[in-house]
C-alpha cells in the first residue's frame, strides 16, 4: 500500500491538529514497515517528520487551509501512485481520484461559524470555504474518521447516510499523561511553576469564542 498523509498542520506553531497528525506520523509508518508513506510537509516544519525508511516527505508550499488545497489538491502534491490519501483536518479538496480518508474533528464552521474565530468581515468567506471542503468530505470521502461518538452523532443527525462510512477513532493518550506517583511532589512542582500556592485553574485552548474562556473564568470566580 502507498498512503499519502497531509501533514501540513505540523509546523513551527503547536496546534491540536498538528499534535494529532504528529502522533500518526510517529507511529503508523513504524507499524507498517512493508507499506510506503508519502507525507505532505509544510515549509515551516522541522524536518524530518519521521526517521522511518518507508517514508518520503514532499514539501508543499500552499497552506493546509488554502484555496489551493480546496480547489486543486492533485496539483500541489504528487498523488499519481497513491492508494489512499488521508486529509486529517476536516476538509477534502477537489480532484482526488484515489481512495480518501478524512478526519472530521467537528463541524462547528457549519453549525456556529461565529464561534470559531469571532465575527468579522471575512467570516462569510471562511464559512463558504469550510462548507465546501466539509461537504465534499461528506459526499465523497471513502471513509470519515470521527474523533468521538459525539462528533459522529452530530454527523449522523445531519447526514444519516454516513453511518456506513464513519469510523470513531478516539485520540490516543501519551504516556506522560498519567496520575503522578506523588501528588504532593506534583503539587509542589505546580506551585513552583505558577509562583503561588493558591488555588488555580488551568485552561488549555486557543483564544476563540468556541473555547468559552469567559464562562470558565466566571465559574472560577464564582467558586471562590
107 falls within a domain: yes
Rounded Cα–Cα distance for residues 150 and 43 (Å): 34
Q: Do 196 and 85 share a structural domain?
A: no
CB 148 within 8 A of CB 155: no
Q: Do 10 and 49 share a structural domain?
A: yes
152 falls within a domain: yes
Q: Do 143 and 209 share a structural domain?
A: no
Look up the domain containing 193 and give its range: 183-223
Residues 107-125: tens digit of each pLDDT = 999 999 998 888 899 999 9
CB 208 within 8 A of CB 118: yes
Write down the pLDDT at residue 82.
98
Cell 471513509 found at: 143
Q: In which band, very low, low, confident or very high, does the pLDDT at 203 lie, cut at 50, 70 and 90?
A: confident
Q: Do 117 and 205 share a structural domain?
A: no
As a whole number, mean pLDDT of residues 126-134 equals 97
Q: Do 80 and 56 share a structural domain?
A: yes
For 111, the enclosing helix (H) or strand (E) is: helix 108-111
Last residue of a domain, one of 168, 192, 212: 168
Residues 161-202: tens digit of each pLDDT = 999 999 999 998 888 888 999 999 999 999 999 999 888 888
Q: Do 122 and 187 share a structural domain?
A: no
88 falls within a domain: yes
176 falls within a domain: no
Q: Do 76 and 14 share a structural domain?
A: yes
Q: Do 153 and 45 share a structural domain?
A: yes
173 falls within a domain: no
Q: Do 151 and 120 share a structural domain?
A: yes
User: What's the Rg (C-alpha) of the chain?
Assistant: 20
175 falls within a domain: no
CA distances 139 to 64, 89, 92, 186, 201, Å, are 20, 16, 10, 48, 42
Last residue of a domain, one of 141, 168, 195: 168
| Residue 224, pLDDT above cutoff 80 | no
178 falls within a domain: no
Q: Do 161 and 189 share a structural domain?
A: no
Q: Do 104 and 59 share a structural domain?
A: yes
Number of structural domains in the chain: 2
Average pLDDT of the chain is 94
Amino acid at each position: 500500500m502507498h498512503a499519502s498523509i497531509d501533514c501540513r498542520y505540523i509546523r513551527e506553531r503547536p496546534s491540536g491538529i498538528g499534535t494529532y497528525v504528529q502522533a500518526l506520523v510517529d507511529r503508523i509508518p513504524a507499524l507498517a514497515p512493508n507499506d510506503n508513506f508519502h507525507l505532505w510537509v509544510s515549509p515551516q516544519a522541522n524536518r524530518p517528520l519521521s526517521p522511518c525508511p518507508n517514508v518520503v516527505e514532499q514539501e508543499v508550499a500552499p497552506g493546509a487551509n488554502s484555496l489551493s488545497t480546496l480547489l486543486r489538491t492533485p496539483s500541489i502534491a504528487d498523488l499519481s501512485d497513491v492508494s489512499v490519501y488521508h486529509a486529517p483536518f476536516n476538509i477534502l479538496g477537489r480532484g482526488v481520484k484515489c481512495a480518501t480518508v478524512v478526519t472530521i474533528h467537528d463541524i462547528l464552521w457549519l453549525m456556529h461559524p461565529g464561534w470559531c474565530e469571532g465575527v468579522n468581515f471575512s467570516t462569510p468567506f471562511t464559512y463558504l470555504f469550510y462548507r465546501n471542503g466539509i461537504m465534499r468530505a461528506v459526499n465523497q470521502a471513502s471513509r470519515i474518521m470521527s474523533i468521538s461518538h459525539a462528533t459522529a452523532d452530530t454527523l449522523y443527525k445531519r447526514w444519516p447516510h454516513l453511518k456506513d462510512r464513519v469510523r470513531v477513532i478516539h485520540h490516543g493518550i501519551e504516556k506522560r499523561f498519567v496520575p503522578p506517583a506523588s501528588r504532593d511532589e506534583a503539587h509542589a512542582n505546580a506551585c513552583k511553576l505558577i509562583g503561588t500556592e493558591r488555588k488555580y485553574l488551568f485552561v488549555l485552548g486557543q483564544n476563540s469564542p468556541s473555547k468559552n474562556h469567559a464562562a470558565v473564568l466566571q465559574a472560577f470566580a464564582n467558586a471562590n
